[in-house]
């Protein structure tokens, strides 16, 4: 996925703001390797599921598994309290995008390749922002 220079600038600006706020206000949680692993693992699973959306049938057990994992990740992030608000909200955005895409696929025909590519790019970017945000958190507790 190639990002435009404007997207890269926005991500960098967000990272600088989040890191700056962490040092000034101590309002951002520290880097959590569990969060990083949850997000990177789930991203791969979601993208693999999306690849099946070009077929006639859907793997309902895989869909249920991913929905459960998304809910678990959200609850894990929510349990860290207000200092983790940004990551919690990013996970909620990922959940919403996933549910929108899934509902679209459930109510319509199989996806064609261009649509698949667009939807994968959208969900992957949402995961990437959350992953990059986590990576930019202070690693020294």
27 contacts: CB under 8 Å, gap ≥ 6: 21, 82, 83
Which pLDDT belongs to residue 110? Answer: 94
Residue 4: is its pLDDT beyond 70?
no
**Does residue 99 lie in a domain region?**
yes
**Does residue 140 lie in a domain region?**
no
**Does residue 62 lie in a domain region?**
yes
Q: What percentage of the chain carries pLDDT values higher than 90?
A: 72
Residue 54: is its pLDDT beyond 80?
yes
Average pLDDT over residues 19-42: 78
Structure confidence at residue 108 as a pLDDT band (50, 70, 90): confident
User: What 3 state SS string does the chain have?
Assistant: CCCCHHHHHHHHHHHHHHHHHHHHHCCCCCCCHHHHHHHHHHHHHHHHHHHHHHCCCCCHHHHHHHHHHHHHHHHHHHCCCHHHHHHHHHHHHHHHHHHHHHHHHHHCCCCCHHHHHHHHHHHHHHHHHHHHHHHCCCCCC
Q: Which two tokens stand for residue 89?
A: 């909200």
Structure confidence at residue 10 as a pLDDT band (50, 70, 90): low
Residue 114: is its pLDDT beyond 70?
yes
Residue 105: is its pLDDT beyond 60?
yes
**Does residue 56 lie in a domain region?**
yes
Q: How many separate domains does the chain show?
A: 1
**Does residue 141 lie in a domain region?**
no
Q: With contact defined as beta carbons under 8 Å apart, do 39 and 130 qualify?
A: yes
**Does residue 119 lie in a domain region?**
yes
Domain span at residue 59 reads 5-135
Residue 141: is its pLDDT beyond 80?
no
């Amino acid at each position: 996925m190639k990002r435009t220079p404007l997207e890269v600038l926005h991500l960098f600006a967000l990272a600088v703001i989040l890191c700056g706020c962490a040092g000034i206000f101590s309002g951002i949680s520290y880097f959590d390797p569990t969060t990083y692993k949850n997000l990177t693992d789930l991203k791969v699973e979601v993208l693999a599921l999306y690849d099946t959306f070009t077929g006639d049938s859907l793997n309902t057990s895989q869909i249920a598994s991913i929905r459960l994992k998304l809910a678990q990740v959200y609850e894990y992030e929510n349990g860290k309290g207000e200092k983790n608000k940004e990551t919690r909200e990013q996970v909620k955005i990922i959940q919403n995008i996933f549910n929108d895409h899934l509902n679209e696929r459930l109510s319509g025909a199989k996806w064609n390749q261009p649509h698949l590519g667009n939807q994968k790019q959208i969900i992957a970017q949402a995961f990437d922002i959350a992953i990059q945000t986590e990576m930019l958190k202070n690693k020294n507790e």
